């Protein structure tokens, strides 16, 4: 098995790169369960989605050779067509045991016996409006000359996403080392990469919903989400002070939702007060309520070069062994004024999503992180799993567990799939 992985095709390597947003090998499964009607605000050619199977289903009607009106007239005249003959009992394979019926009052399979019935009783649905598309930005994507390739690529990604009903993005910057400092002051530079990108995007797409990441790690020379003291301690309240400035700077540029992912204590309340004091009472806060110290973030940190320079993030991110502790964070974030509560990672933490769903009336977000995405991509490339089906199932499971929205690198690919598009 190890050698299979080592000899994997080159495309596996791309999983580690910055191209998570691009989708590989998308094929719509012919009998996919996931259908949608386009909802995008900027749909130029609205297309109602029609289940193609209906044509086949109606084929026998056509054989009668009567129009609807003729059929109706025939019924009114009492010429009711004969019932179709009872089909012969389908043969069982030779050797099938002959047994009495089990005395069951309930056979749950009855409600699953046809595609139409399964569709009727489906409890959870998936729509492109549930997705938030993460975009990785670097200097070239926010340059003030919009003809530069980076900006063009950024606009392309957003426009492709909007075309299939994904109108929310979250921005993650790759900041040059020269701009990183121990106190991460570049985080609140009004002319920094993130504020410039927000202004570019809002200028072209005023109704795009822009989420931002609030944390110091992309700007910290230590690669931590907060300011690091000489002895390695991450300083809480001093970090919160910086985060407030960062959030206000993002709001000033036009961010719709600021998302503290740093896990410092008290940052939601402090950011709320800072935003309100500057007149940004309409800007929402999506709090990373239960963010775990997870190894599933590996590919993201590689891509953005944001690995902690020393130690780990266990003094601020949560212990993956803990469940009840997520309730403590939930209560704090709710009372401090969070608008949306986020759980991260996604699939390995479905129980936490359900816990928050059952304990808070606020919208719940799940973050399907880079490691989850890469595993599905790699499994698909190695032909160990059906990438598209596993992608759709994993997203549906996050919804079933209680997530209203999902931050996912699959946003574009999954939305295309929901809209019945081929690549």
- Interaction site with ligand PBG (CB under 6 A): 213, 215, 217, 225, 261, 297, 300-301, 369-370
- Structural contact between residues 130 and 404, judged by C-beta atoms closer than 8 angstroms: yes
Is there a contact between 402 and 364 (Cβ–Cβ < 8 Å)?
yes
* Whether 291 is catalytic: yes
Give the active site residue among 160, 180, 245, 291.
291
- Alpha carbons 353 and 401: distance in angstroms, whole number: 6
What CA–CA distance (Å, rounded) separates 250 from 211? 9
Question: Residue 226 Cβ, how far from ligand PBG at the closest point, in Å?
Answer: 10
Least distance (Å) from ligand PBG to the CB of residue 336?
19
Is 62 designated active site?
no
Nearer to ligand PBG, 151 or 183 (CB): 183
Q: What tokens does 256 get?
A: 């719709």
Residue of 180, 313, 344, 377 marked active site = 344
Which of 34, 292 has the CB closer to ligand PBG? 292
Nearest approach, Cβ of residue 268 and ligand PBG (Å): 15
Query: Which C-beta is closer to ligand PBG: that of 14 or that of 148?
Result: 14
How far is residue 108's CA from residue 418's CA, in Å, rounded to a whole number? 28
Q: Which is nearer to ligand PBG, 163 or 217 (CB)?
A: 217
Which one, of 43, 16, 105, lies nearest residue 298 by Cα?
Answer: 16
User: Shortest gap between Cβ of 255 and ligand PBG (angstroms)?
Assistant: 15
* Cα 283 to Cα 242: distance, rounded to the nearest angstrom: 18
Please answer whether residues 42 and 328 qualify as being in contact, where contact means their C-beta atoms are separated by less than 8 angstroms. no
Specify the 3-state DSSP secondary structure of 141: helix
User: In this structure, are residues 260 and 245 in contact, taking their beta carbons and an 8 Å threshold?
Assistant: no
Helix (H) or strand (E) holding 215: none
Bridge-based pairing state of the strands 209-214 and 234-235: unpaired
Closer to ligand PBG by Cβ: residue 187 or 201 = 187
Q: Which is nearer to ligand PBG, 179 or 215 (CB)?
A: 215
228-247 burial: b if 16+ Cβ within 10 Å, else e: beeeeebebeebbbbbbebb
Cβ at position 280, least distance to ligand PBG in Å: 21
**Shortest distance, position 21 Cβ to ligand PBG, whole Å:** 12
* Beta carbons of 259 and 285 less than 8 angstroms apart: yes
Strand 284-291 relative to strand 257-260, pairing: parallel
Q: Which residues are catalytic?
A: 291, 344
């Amino acid at each position: 098995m190890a050698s299979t992985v080592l000899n994997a095709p080159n495309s596996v390597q791309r999983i580690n790169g910055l191209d998570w947003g691009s989708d590989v090998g998308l094929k719509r499964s012919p009998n996919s369960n996931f259908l949608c009607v386009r909802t995008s605000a900027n749909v130029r050619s609205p297309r109602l989605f029609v289940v193609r199977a209906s044509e086949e289903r109606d084929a026998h009607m056509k054989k009668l050779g009567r129009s609807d009106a003729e059929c109706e007239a025939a019924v009114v005249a009492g010429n009711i067509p004969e019932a179709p003959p009872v089909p012969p009992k389908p043969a069982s394979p030779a050797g099938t045991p002959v047994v009495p019926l089990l005395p069951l009052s309930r056979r749950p399979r009855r409600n699953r016996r046809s595609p139409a019935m399964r569709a009727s009783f489906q409890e959870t649905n998936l729509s492109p409006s549930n997705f938030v598309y993460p975009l990785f930005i670097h200097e070239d994507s926010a340059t003030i000359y919009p003809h530069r390739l980076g900006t063009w690529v950024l606009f392309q990604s957003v426009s492709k996403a909007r075309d299939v009903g994904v109108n929310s993005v979250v921005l993650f910057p790759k900041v040059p080392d020269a701009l990183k400092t121990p106190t991460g002051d570049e985080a609140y530079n009004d002319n920094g990469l993130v504020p410039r990108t927000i202004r570019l995007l809002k200028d072209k797409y005023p109704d795009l919903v822009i989420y931002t990441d609030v944390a110091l790690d992309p700007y910290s020379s230590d690669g931590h989400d907060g300011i690091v003291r000489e002895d390695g301690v991450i300083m809480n309240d001093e970090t919160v002070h910086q985060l407030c400035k960062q959030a206000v700077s993002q709001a000033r540029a036009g961010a719709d939702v600021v998302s503290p992912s740093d896990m410092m204590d008290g940052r939601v309340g402090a950011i709320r007060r800072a935003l309100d004091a500057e007149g940004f009472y309409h800007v929402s806060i999506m709090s990373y309520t239960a963010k775990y110290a997870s190894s599933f973030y590996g590919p993201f940190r590689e891509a953005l070069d944001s690995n902690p320079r020393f130690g780990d993030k266990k003094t601020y991110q949560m212990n993956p062994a803990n469940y009840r502790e997520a309730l403590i964070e939930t209560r704090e974030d709710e009372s401090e004024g969070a608008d949306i509560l986020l759980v991260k990672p996604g699939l390995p933490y479905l129980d936490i999503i359900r816990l928050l769903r059952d304990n808070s009336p606020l919208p719940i977000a799940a973050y399907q992180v880079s490691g989850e995405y890469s595993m599905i991509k790699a499994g698909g490339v190695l032909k160990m799993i059906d990438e598209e089906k596993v992608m759709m199932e994993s997203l549906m499971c996050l919804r079933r567990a209680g997530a209203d929205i999902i931050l996912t690198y699959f946003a574009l690919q999954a939305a295309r799939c929901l809209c019945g598009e081929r690549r």
